[in-house]
């Protein structure tokens, strides 16, 4: 059950996403015991400092795409670069096949 800081739970989950894998906002919300609050995940990530060590780039939307920021900064392009660096591929429409890259907790993590 959720407690005081939802953000901490969200950050904890994001920190466990393995390299070469992605998770959707909704998935993170569920793992953080915040089912149905995918939006809160995005809000929490937007609050992260640029210096954050968290793999924030591994979080994409349920459509397998990088979500558009409203605040102009070129964050999306950086995210795309970081993901490709991890061998995560996009199809012709800029979509990441979740069937192939979605993180399945329990498979192989620490």
Partner DNA sequence: CCGTTGACGGCGA
Partner DNA sequence: ATCGCCGCCAACG
* Chain residues in the site for DNA (CB under 7 A): 6-7, 24-27, 36-43, 45-48, 56-57, 59, 61-63, 67-71, 75, 79
Nearer Cβ to DNA, position 35 or 109? 35
Helix (H, G, I), strand (E, B) or coil at 23: strand
DSSP secondary structure letter of residue 59: E
Query: C-beta of 96: minimal distance to DNA in Å?
Result: 12
Instruction: Say if residues 48 and 54 touch (Cβ distance below 8 Å).
Output: yes
Length of the chain (residues): 110
Nearer Cβ to DNA, position 18 or 61? 61
Q: What is the DSSP string of 15-42?
A: TTPPTT-BEEHHHHHHHTT-TT-HHHHH
Query: C-beta of 110: minimal distance to DNA in Å?
Result: 23
Query: C-beta of 87: minimal distance to DNA in Å?
Result: 19
Nearer Cβ to DNA, position 69 or 89? 69
- How many angstroms separate the CA atoms of 103 and 76, rounded? 20
Query: C-beta of 52: minimal distance to DNA in Å?
Result: 8
């Amino acid at each position: 059950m959720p407690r005081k800081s939802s953000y901490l739970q969200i950050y904890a989950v994001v920190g466990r996403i393995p390299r070469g894998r992605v998770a959707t906002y909704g998935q993170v919300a569920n793992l953080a015991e915040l089912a149905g609050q995918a939006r809160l995940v995005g809000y929490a990530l937007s609050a992260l400092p640029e210096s954050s060590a968290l793999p924030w780039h591994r979080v994409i939307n349920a459509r397998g795409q990088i979500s558009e920021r409203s605040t102009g900064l070129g964050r999306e392009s950086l995210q795309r670069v970081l993901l490709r660096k991890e061998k995560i591929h996009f199809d012709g429409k800029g979509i990441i096949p979740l069937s192939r890259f979605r993180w399945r907790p329990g498979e192989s993590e620490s």
